[in-house]
A and B are shown apart, each in its own frame.
Chain A
Amino acid sequence: MTTHPDHTDQTAPDDEHDDTTAADVLRERDIDPVTMQVIGGELDTIAQEMGYKLIRSSYSSIIRESEDMGAGIFTTDCRELCESDSTPMHVGSLIGYLDGMYKTFEERGVDREEIINEGDVFIHNHPHYGASHSPDIAVAVPIFYEGEHIAWAANTAHHLDIGSATPGLAIDLEDMYAEGSLFRATKVYDQGERVDGIWDFIEDNVRTPREVIGDLQAQISSCHVGEERYLDLVEKYGLEEIQQAGEALMEYAEALLRNEIRTIPDGTYYAEDYLDDDGRNRDQRLKIAAEVTVDGSDITVDMSKSADQTPTGYNIPFHGSTDVCIYFTIRSLLMDTFVRDEYLPQNSGTFAPVHPKARPGCMFNPTPPTSAFARINQVDKMSDLIIKALADAIPEKVCAGTCGQVYFVSYGGTNDEGEYWVYLEVNEGSYGGRPEADGLDAVDALVHNTKNRPVEDIELSHPMRVERYGLREDGHGAGRTRGGHGIVRESQFLTDAVMTMEGDGNTYRPHGLFGGGEGTHGDLKHIKADGEVLDLHSKESGYKFEANDRVLIKTASGGGYGDPHERPADTVYEDYLDGLVSETDAREEYGVVIEDGTLDTAATDELRNE
């Protein structure tokens, strides 16, 4: 291991943009708005096609059903030209991977021009060299035009298993070497020739070789599609025009975001909370703190006041995860695609005005050889805290406390032949109440936007039976708009099985906002075949179940927004009819009186006026 790349502070706020008006931007742009729109659309189409092909032909359900992947075209200096509209966790992360590859070349003392050749295919997944985390293996194909390296086609996808300490997922890890197989700018094709040794290595070192190799092949095909389409575009418009348009599109995206940041009053905003534990030291809560500074059209999010890096795998790679989730959160707040009509191209411009920070050695910027395998809960809570910090500044754009957690689980076992099955499950979260609407129920929340796996698909494929899968009915954050509901899921194992649970939020509740109530926290149980019930921690590594045991998962329900007494009594009554609020809660939390199943308007008015 050589020196650790320093990434305390990526980009300093950029003074020169402060006085730039949109009209200036247009004047300075070397390209007319029509051509920019045309080429922007072409780039977007390429990224979508790369994503589509990868999803359609992949094996593991975490890619094909959950769409835990990203794909796009990148400049040779590692800026993003376009990316597929898949789970935002990957949007922008490939920049970190390519950067990490370049750092690797540098450290190995190899000349980039010499090492990168036409027909090469690289894989890369090192958590301290820009990977989102090690199970997300990136495939990168250099695009050559007339002998010159002009761009990268790259994608990243979550693999079922990379040979880590426990099947699928892993938390209680000693260091990064326990994560399994780490690749740094490793060639799997060298100038068109398959590098057999590395494929053999992968086959011998992962628990699910057919899926992993099939999915890598699908990733390579997807990159080749991107390469072919990008070259078509270059043929059609000329390299210079494409590059110019690429620059203009990045400027354009940046200008859109800067306009929005300017609407937030300058100042420093702060929110903090505590995570359950690191997966080994059960009694030590971990502080997580988001400090958000708005200065003109720049916004800095500093996570440095958070806890030190943990001795387990419960840490967050700075590049590819901490930064990506900060970009995501700011963009979702300010460029909400549900309320806005303009076309925002996805490229590096959307990152330029946002400055992620975290001191080296804190959990959001761990130093080698620390493991950083399990990071999704921390970034969820981080997003939630950024939103909370900005609530007073932009109340019309935020929501009350989201679940701020996710139970990401791997189940696995072996069949009679000793072959592994592994199933990765992303359990649903919820949103807090919003200015105009209740929080969303049972969705994949925040930076991850995967799809669930159909119950029928699980039962066709694995020795499991799902007994129950529905909304929680035991409360939500009350508010003028209420928090969304988490889920309850109960699964039975038909054979002995092992589970690694990457979760959090068993000890804290989603916050209410502007008078709204707190939501409910998550809960995990092991129900043994004989009926005995055991409490589980939010993180379990290699936890064993016997045949006919069950696991019960309840995910957090969101916080309320605004005074619950301002919620129309009829709306509360509708929730009552739908089994989402009890008579008692209607009275105690909302001041709404329901007697024998009927809404008592007069009594409600009386109670609410008390």
Chain B
Amino acid sequence: MVSKSTGSSSETRVGVDVGGTNTDVILVTEDDEFTFKTPSTADPSQSTLTGIVEVCQLAGVEPADVDQILHGTTVATNALIEHEGAKTGLLTTDGFRDVLHIGRHRKPHSFSLQQTISWQEQPIVKRRHRKEVTERIYPPGDVITPLDEDAVLKQTGDLVADGVESIAVCYLHSYLNREHEDRTKELIHEQFPDVSVSTSSEVVAQFREFERFTTTAVNARLEPVMSTYLTRLSDGLADEGFDAEVLIMQSNGGMASVQNVAERPVTTLVSGPAAGVLSAAFEGEHVDEPNLVMLDMGGTSADISVVPGRVLERDPRDSTVGGYPTITPMLDIETIGAGGGSIAWFDDAMGFNVGPKSAGANPGPACYARGNDQPTTTDAQVVLGRIDPDSFLGGDLDLEPERSREALQTQLCARTDQAQFETPEQAALATLEVANTNMYRAIREQTVQRGYDPREYTMVAFGGAGPMHGASIAEKLEVSTVLVPPSPGIASARGLLTGNVKYDYQQTISSPLEEVDGEFIEDAFERLEARGREQLERDEIDPSRWEFRSSVDCLYDGQGYELNIDFDGTDGDWHARLRERFEERHEAEYGHYFEADPVELLNVRVTAIGDVESYAPPEIAADGALEAAKTTESTVVFGTPDAPEKLTVPRYEREKLTAGTEIDGPAIVDEFDSTVVVNPNWTATIETNGSIILTTEER
């Protein structure tokens, strides 16, 4: 797929996002913008490279003229989920080799005798490679047993002899005192220079050993994989004549240098989805809507994120990837199993379900005719006439719409002994209703439960399926505006262009707030800032573009869940200021606070930001005639499962729509990688940058 339009950027930059199915590429020059899509390859550096080379050819840009390549990668995620990665060892405090195995001792399923647990079934480090070392640090950071350096070398020697390539060093309370971990790393580097080492105090200096140890072990396991990948990519780029700066998207929504990511791959586990959130935030900013709900719906799942004026980070205690806790900062993205491939089915007690079973992208929906005959949400859209089988994916994929109808008929209508819908249309509307409800609930959990009123929000819907479902979910949420960005299938790649370099640093203090000395805390912040400055210098970002944000995590003494609040220095009665801010936050979050209870300051945090190039999207032509974009009229079913309404609606080709145009629903806008459904009672307005704004008066 190719497209070309006019934009503006002072440099030539390429964004490349590798997804499970496709690799999406976008190139911007001073006045042009080009996009390209190519199937992802088993070795993702290939399709990444192909995509970059092809988009340059398309744009007529010489490789040497590209200034910056911004990359969203699933290398770390896939390696973790598919249990690949380096043979990894662990050095830990004597008596604690099984922390990684016991976890928090909670079973993922409360009602199950047959379940397996990922960290026991597929350990990041096998038990035989988890070695103990005599040493002990005890709060508040005292060394009560010195490090046995001979044991470090002996255990490392055994691990190396057994083929271990990467070692995680995880000692208890190292977040309070990193001396033993640092020394261990030094010893290993001296004696075994080829072995990668990740220490828990470097990767994530926070208390709670299972989560910190696991995050560190994941990092150790992924480090050689990521290094190899980045080296291969860099070499490939060099061979093709590229000399651009390469930056990688991290889970926290910030870019990082290749050097940083090679050492800290665990920070990229939700790289692609994070770029999606940035894309949503960017689109919102463009139309002056700060409060956003992102819905990125693809073939197998939907990513949901709420942006209340700023991108949110996930509570580290809820952060898991592939069943493993990974507590590095990541944007707050909820993934649910609702996609174009989600299957609709009746269970034994006549409950009607959509998902979690999915036909995914392969074999895909029944209409793909690749061997799945179960009806999916895509099949429902086909039966309802919303997807045009002839123009699906630009006609690249032949759909067989009769298979959609047959699947719905056979599985949901014709079953004599069981519940049934009368017609495939009713079954299709019911399928969408349940799928939309699942997404609506997930959005409610992210908004209403956290005190954000979605009615004041704009939904940004993208991904292949997002623009088909957006307005219907918005109706449930009483959201009156839905924004569909241009080429919604590559929104994440575009988001890459809007990111800044961003590094997070944190340190556990764990002290009563009132007792924290001003000088002490300023020192702690200064040390974290120094690490940020060092990294930004290594990245060669001009100091005029640096920014540092400071915050603290507080909780009432004795509680277990901290709340993050801004820190604005130690002027005046800063203790009282922090306390007040904490109480406000506690009340907003939980509905109450305690006036007299002691507050604990748990962590200090610094985010170091390096502002990189900004992105301005190209403008599309204005004031064309709507009729010129109209392709045909077709029958599309709206309404409810009880009362389907067959309507004759116009279809438009998105590329031909011009800025300022308005389309009254019901209508369908077709484009290469998506379909925008304009529901009855909704109006679509085309923005100057090509975005479609769907609005409704009805709430």
- Residue numbers of A with Cβ under 8 A of B are 21-23, 25-26, 29, 32-34, 36-38, 41-42, 45, 48-49, 52-53, 55-61, 64-65, 67, 85-88, 91, 210-211, 214, 217-218, 220-221, 224-225, 229, 252-253, 255-256, 259, 328, 331-333, 335-339, 341-343, 387, 397-399, 426, 428, 431, 434-437, 440-444, 449-452, 454-457, 459-461, 465-471, 487, 490, 577-580
Contact = CB atoms under 8 A, between A and B. Distances in A.
Contacts of A441: 101-102, 120
Q: Majority SS of interface residues in chain B? A: loop
A32 B642 contact: yes
Contacts of A259: 348-349
Contacts of B97: 470
A61 B560 contact: yes
B107 A443 contact: yes
A21 B416 CA distance: 13
B687 to A, nearest CB: 33
B520 interface: no
Nearest to B315: A56
Interface of B: 95-99, 101-102, 104-107, 109-117, 120-121, 126-128, 138-139, 172-173, 175, 207-210, 346-353, 356-357, 417-419, 430, 433-434, 437-438, 441, 444-445, 448-449, 510, 556, 558-561, 586, 589-592, 594, 597, 641-642
B107 A440 contact: yes
A338 B438 contact: no
Given A23-B417, A45-B441, A398-B113, 13 more contacts: A29-B350, A33-B430, A41-B441, A45-B444, A60-B558, A214-B558, A332-B111, A336-B109, A337-B111, A440-B107, A468-B96, A579-B127, A580-B127
A454 B102 contact: no
Nearest to A487: B102
A442 B347 contact: no
A211 B510 CA distance: 19
Nearest to A40: B351
A23 B348 contact: no
Contacts of B642: 32
B95 A22 contact: no
B207 A460 contact: yes
A85 B434 CA distance: 22
B561 A64 contact: yes
A217 B560 contact: no
Contacts of B208: 454, 456-457
A41 B438 contact: yes
B349 A255 contact: yes
Contacts of A460: 139, 207, 510
A56 B102 contact: no
Contacts of A52: 449
A22 B107 contact: no
Given A37-B434, A61-B560, A578-B127, A443 B350 contact: no
B327 to A, nearest CB: 12
B582 to A, nearest CB: 12
Given A336-B114, A470-B98, A49 B209 contact: no
A430 B448 CA distance: 39
Given A38-B437, A64-B561, A22 B105 contact: no
Contacts, number: 251
Contacts of A36: 351
Contacts of A61: 560
Given A56-B561, A342-B351, A88 B110 contact: yes
Contacts of A332: 111-113
Contacts of B113: 332-333, 336, 387, 397-399, 431, 434
Which 5 pairs from chain A and chain B are nearest by CB?
Answer: A64-B560, A468-B95, A338-B115, A342-B347, A255-B349
Contacts of A426: 105
Contacts of A456: 172-173, 175, 207-209
B597 A428 contact: no
Contact of A455 (B96, B105, B561): B96
Nearest to A334: B111
B437 A256 contact: no
B347 A256 contact: yes
Contacts of A341: 347, 353, 356-357
Nearest to A225: B591
Most chain B CB atoms below 10 A, which of A37, A252, A255: A37
Contacts of A436: 114
Contacts of B597: 210, 214
Contacts of B558: 59-60, 210-211, 214, 461
B77 to A, nearest CB: 23
B91 to A, nearest CB: 15
Nearest to A436: B114
Nearest to B476: A38
B128 A579 contact: yes
Contacts of A578: 126-128
Contacts of A435: 114
B114 A437 contact: yes
Given A58-B559, A88-B111, A452 B126 contact: no
B117 A443 contact: yes
A517 B444 CA distance: 50
Contacts of A428: 102, 105
A452 B104 contact: yes
Contacts of B104: 451-452, 454
Contacts of A48: 445
Contacts of A23: 350, 417-419
B141 to A, nearest CB: 11
A255 B589 CA distance: 38
23 contacts: A21-B417, A22-B349, A38-B437, A49-B445, A56-B589, A57-B586, A58-B560, A217-B592, A221-B590, A229-B448, A259-B349, A333-B113, A339-B114, A342-B353, A442-B98, A442-B101, A442-B105, A449-B106, A469-B96, A469-B102, A470-B98, A578-B128, A579-B128
Given A214-B558, A252-B349, A579-B127, A465 B110 contact: no
A583 B105 CA distance: 29
Contacts of A467: 95
A560 B591 CA distance: 49
B110 A87 contact: yes
A456 B136 CA distance: 12
B340 to A, nearest CB: 19
Nearest to A454: B208
A220 B106 CA distance: 26
B101 A471 contact: yes
A221 B353 contact: no
Given A460-B207, A469-B99, A33 B438 contact: no
A467 B138 CA distance: 11
A472 to B, nearest CB: 10
Given A37-B434, A38-B433, A45 B445 contact: yes
Most chain A CB atoms below 10 A, which of B107, B210, B353, B357: B107
B127 A22 contact: no
A516 to B, nearest CB: 15
B176 to A, nearest CB: 9
A403 to B, nearest CB: 12
B119 to A, nearest CB: 11
B105 A337 contact: no
A581 to B, nearest CB: 12
Given A65-B560, A224-B591, A33 B114 contact: no
Nearest to B132: A470
A441 B120 CA distance: 8
Most chain B CB atoms below 10 A, which of A45, A48, A65, A342: A342
B349 A25 contact: yes
A399 B346 CA distance: 29
B106 A455 contact: no
Contact of B105 (A21, A256, A452): A452
A212 to B, nearest CB: 11
A87 B175 CA distance: 31
B361 to A, nearest CB: 20
B322 to A, nearest CB: 17
B419 A214 contact: no
